[in-house]
Structure 1
Amino acid sequence: MPRKDVRGKQGAGEAGGEVEAALDELYSTPPAGFVSRREELALRARTDGRAEDARRIHAARRPSLAAWTANLLRRSLPQESRRFLELGEALREAYGALDRAGIKELSVQRRSVVAALSGQAAQLAAEAGQRLSASVRQEVEATLQAVLADPAAAEQWAAGRLETALTPPSDLLPGSAPPGKAARTAPARPATRAPAKDELAERRRERERQLARAREAAEAAEERLRERRTESAEADSESGRAGERLDRAEEAVAAAERHLHAAREELQLSRQERRAAEERQRAAADALARAEREAREAAREAERAERRGRR
C-alpha cells in the first residue's frame, strides 16, 4: 500500500506540472490566439483523461493586451524582472522610514526604471507582432508602478498570468504620501517617553542603510536596463547589416541566375549548331564517298574503253 500511495502522489505531481505548463504556455500566447489555443489545450487534457486540468485550462481568461505585455516582460526578461521585484521590496521598506529628500530621490529613480522597463516591454511586444498604443503603454507603466507599490500586485505579476492591467493603489504608491503628510493625517498617539540618543542614532543609521539598499537596487536595475538597451541597439545594428548582406546576396544570386539562364541558352544554341554541323559533315562525307565511288567507276570505265581501243 505505501508504494501505491507514493505512485499516486507522483502521478498527481506530474499532472499538476502538465496543467501548470499548459497555463504558462497559454498566457505566453498573444491575445488574438488565446481562445483557440485554450480550447486545444483543454481538449488535449480531456482526451488524456484529465478532466480537472481541462476545467482549469478552460477557466483561464484571455488577458488584455497590456496584461499580456506585462506577462511577456516577466517571462522574457527573468533577471531584470527579479531585480525589479527586489527593487520594489527595497523601495517599500525604505519609504516607511525616509525623509522627504530621500523619498524624492527614490521617486526619480523609480520613474526612470519604470519608463525604461516599459519601453523594453513595448519592444518585446513589437517583436511578437503586437504594436502598443499610447493608452496600452500607460496601462503597462501603471502595472509596473503597482508592482513596486503593492506586494500583492508584485506577487500577481511574478506568476506571469495577469489577465488585466494593475492599478497602483494611491495609499501604497511610493511618493504619494510623504512622511510629513502621513504624520498630519495619522491619529494622535499617546505621549511616550522620548527615545534615548543612542536609539535615535540607531534609527538614523537604519534609515541610511535602507536608503543605501534602495539606491543600490535602483542603480542595479537602471544599469541592467542600460545594458539591455545597448544589446538591443547592437542587435538592431547587426540586423541592419545582415539585411544589407542579404540584399547583396539576393542581387548576386539574381545576377548569377541571369548569367546561368544566358549560358543555358548559349549552350542550347551551341548544341543546335553542333548538331547542324554534324549533319552537314555527314552529308559531305556521304557526298565524298559517292564522288569517290563515281570516280573509281569512271576510271574503270576509261580503262575498259582504252583496252577496247587497242584491240
Structure 2
Amino acid sequence: MQRKGGRRRDAGEQDVEAVLDELYTTPPPDFVSRREERAAAARTAGRAQDARRIRAARRPTRAAWAANLLLRSRPEESRRFLELGQALREAHRTLDAAGLKELSAQRRSVVTALSRQAAQLAAEAGHHLPEPALREVEGTLRAVLADPDAAGRWADGRLEGSLTPPSDFPAGTAPAPVETARARQPSRPAAKHTPAGKRGGDELAERRRKRQEELARAQETAQAAERRADERRAARTDAEETLRRARGDRDRARAQVSLAERQLRAAREELKRAEAERRDAEERNRVTGEELSGAEREAREAARHMERLAARVRR
C-alpha cells in the first residue's frame, strides 16, 4: 500500500492508518475509550510514534461521524457523489446553464438521499441523529459538492467537525450574464408607470425574500452554534477521559508508594530484629569464648596435677 506521494508504507504505518480509519467510524461515545485501547496497544508493541498519532486523534462530532460512516459504508455511492461534485463545479465554472440546472436537480435529490442513508447508518450503529446533526450532515454534503477542498477532506474519511458550503455556490441555475440582467432591469421612468398592484406584489416578494434570507442566516448561525457546542462537548469528553486516566495513574502510584512504604517499614523492623539477634549472638559468642578459655585452663591444670601424682606413684 502506498501514500499519495508514492512512498510505500511499512507494516507499522499500515496498522496506524487502519486504526485511524476505524476510530473515525467509531460512535462518538465510544471514541475515547477505543482510542486509548489502540494507543496502549501500539505502545505495548513498541510503536511509540504510532501511539502518539493515535492519541492525537480528536473525537468527531456526531454529524462528522455520520458523514465518515457514510463514506466508509457506501463507497460506490460516495464515489458517484464526488464525481457529481466535480461535474457541478465544472458546469458552474463554464457557466453551462443547461448542464448546471440538470446537475443541480440531481444534487438536491442525492443530498437528501445520502443524508437519509447517513441517518439510517447512525441508527443501525445505535445512535439516533437529532435534527440539528442531520442538517449538519446535509451541509457537509453540500460543501463536498461545492468545494474541492471539502471534497478531499470528506474523501479521507476522518472529519472531526461538519463542513460548511460556500455561500456563492449556485442554488440551481448558472448566473445570468451581466448584460442580460441589466436588460431585464426596468428603467426609472418605466417604474413610474408600474401598476400599483404590481409594485405591491414586488414589495411583498422582496419582504419575503429578505425574511427567507434572515431565516437562512439564523439557521446557519444556529447550526454553527450547535456545531461549536458539539465540538466543546467532544473536547470536554476528551478532557474528562484524560482526567480520569490521570487520576487512575495517580491512585495506582499512591498504592505502589503505600505498598513500598509498608515494605520499607517491615524491612526496617526486620533489620532491627536482625541487628538485635546479631548483638545477642556476639555476646553469646564472647561469653562462650571466655567460658571455653576457662575450661581449657582448668583442663591443663588438672592434667599437670595428674602428671605430678603419677610421678609420685612411680617412685
Normalising by structure 1, we get a TM-score of 0.53
Q: Among 21, 32, 38, which residue is 2:29 paired with?
A: 32
* Amino acid aligned to 1:180: A
Q: Which runs of 5+ in 1 are unaligned?
A: 1-8, 186-311
Cα distance between partner residues in 1 of 2:105 and 2:179: 23
* Amino acid aligned to 1:93: E
Cα distance between partner residues in 2 of 1:37 and 1:27: 10
- Percent identical among aligned pairs is 65
Note if 1:18 corresponds to 2:15: yes
Cα distance between partner residues in 1 of 2:45 and 2:177: 59
Q: Which runs of 5+ in 2 are unaligned?
A: 1-6, 182-315
Aligned partner of 1:117 in structure 2 is 114
Aligned partner of 1:95 in structure 2 is 92
* Amino acid aligned to 1:146: A
SS of the residue corresponding to residue 10 of structure 2 reads helix
Distance 1:125 1:71, change over 3 A: same
Note if 1:127 corresponds to 2:130: no
Q: Which aligned pairs between 1:148-297 and structure 2 lie closer than 5 A? A: 148-171=145-168, 173-175=169-171, 178-180=174-176
Residues 169-195 of structure 1 deviation map (CA, whole Å, 9 limit, x = unaligned): 113x2438843278899xxxxxxxxxx
Contact 1:103 1:175 in 2 (8 A): no
Cα distance between partner residues in 2 of 1:181 and 1:156: 33
Q: Among 75, 80, 85, which residue is 2:77 paired with?
A: 80
* Amino acid aligned to 1:161: R
Cα distance between partner residues in 2 of 1:37 and 1:181: 54
Residues 262-302 of structure 1 deviation map (CA, whole Å, 9 limit, x = unaligned): xxxxxxxxxxxxxxxxxxxxxxxxxxxxxxxxxxxxxxxxx
Deviation at 1:99?
4.4
* Amino acid aligned to 1:20: E
Contact 1:74 1:81 in 2 (8 A): yes
* Amino acid aligned to 2:138: E
Residues 199-238 of structure 1 deviation map (CA, whole Å, 9 limit, x = unaligned): xxxxxxxxxxxxxxxxxxxxxxxxxxxxxxxxxxxxxxxx
Aligned partner of 2:59 in structure 1 is 62
SS of the residue corresponding to residue 28 of structure 1 reads coil
Cα distance between partner residues in 2 of 1:16 and 1:181: 52
Distance 1:17 1:36, change over 3 A: same
